[in-house]
Amino acid sequence: MINNLSKEDYFKKELFQLYSKIKNLPKSRSAHYARNLAATQFYKFFLNASLIIKGSENLPYESASIFIYNHLNTNPEYEIDSDFQVTLDSHFISSFILNKYYKNPGIRIIRNSLSSEKNHSNYYDKFDYIRVYSRDFLPKNISKKKLKDSKNDFFEKSLNELKNNNSIIISPEGVSCETENSPGKFKSGAFKLATMSRIEPYIVPVVMVNFDKIISNNTLKCEILKPFKMSDYGITSPHDPNLKNVVEIINKKYTKQIKSLIDFKLDFKDEISLLKKKIKLKKNKNDLIVLYGSSTLRLWKNFHEDFENFNTLNLGFGGSQISNMIDNFEDLFKEISPKTIVLYCGGNDLAVGLDPDEIFKKFIYLIKMIKKKYRKIKIINIQLKPSIERISKMDKINLLNKLISDHFIKRKNLIQLKCFENIMINGDVDETFFLRDGLHLNDKGYELISQKLKYQLNNDY
What integer pLDDT is reported at residue 4 of this predicted model?
59
What integer pLDDT is reported at residue 137 of this predicted model?
82
Q: Could you list the beta-strand ranges (E) of 252-390.
A: 286-293, 312-316, 337-344, 378-382
What integer pLDDT is reported at residue 3 of this predicted model?
59
- Is 4-263 a domain of CATH 1.10.10? no
Contacts of 433 (CB under 8 A, 6+ apart): 385, 423, 441, 442, 444, 445, 448
Tell me the CATH architecture of domain 269-460: 3-Layer(aba) Sandwich (3.40)
Instruction: Specify the DSSP element, H or E, that contains 169.
Output: strand 168-170
Instruction: Specify the DSSP element, H or E, that contains 100.
Output: helix 100-102
Q: How far apart are CA 359 and CA 356, in angstroms?
A: 5
14 half-sphere exposure, CB direction, 13 A CA radius: 19
Q: How far is CA 396 from the centre of its chain?
A: 24
Burial class (CB in 10 A: 0-12, 13-18, 19+), 264: middle
Contact 37, 22 (CB under 8 A): yes
Residues forming CATH 3.40.1130 domain(s) in the chain: 4-263
For 183-211, letters b (16+ CB in 10 Å) and e give: bbebbebbbbbbbbeeeebbbbbbbbbbb
CA distances from 109 to 168, 249, 387, 406 (A): 7, 23, 33, 54
CA dihedral 172, 174, 175, 176 (to 10 degrees): 40
Q: How far apart are CA 299 and CA 313, in angstroms?
A: 13
Q: How far apart are CA 172 and CA 184, in angstroms?
A: 9
pLDDT tens, the chain, 461 aa long: 455 558 899 999 999 999 999 999 999 999 999 999 999 999 999 999 999 999 999 999 998 999 999 999 999 999 887 778 899 999 999 999 999 999 999 999 999 888 888 888 889 999 999 999 888 788 888 888 989 999 999 999 999 999 999 999 999 998 899 999 999 999 999 999 999 999 999 999 999 999 999 999 999 999 999 999 999 999 999 999 999 999 999 999 999 999 999 999 888 999 999 999 999 999 999 999 999 999 999 999 999 999 999 999 999 998 899 999 999 999 999 999 999 999 999 999 999 999 999 999 999 999 999 999 999 999 999 999 999 999 999 999 999 999 999 999 988 899 999 999 999 999 999 999 999 999 999 999 999 999 999 999 987 65
DSSP code for 225: P
Contact 427, 420 (CB under 8 A): no
- pTM, two decimal places: 0.92
**DSSP string for residues in 123-150:** HHTTTTPEEE--TTSPPTT--HHHHHHH
The backbone torsions φ and ψ at residue 208, rounded to the nearest 5 degrees and listed phi first, read -115, 135
Residues forming CATH 3.40.50.1110 domain(s) in the chain: 269-460
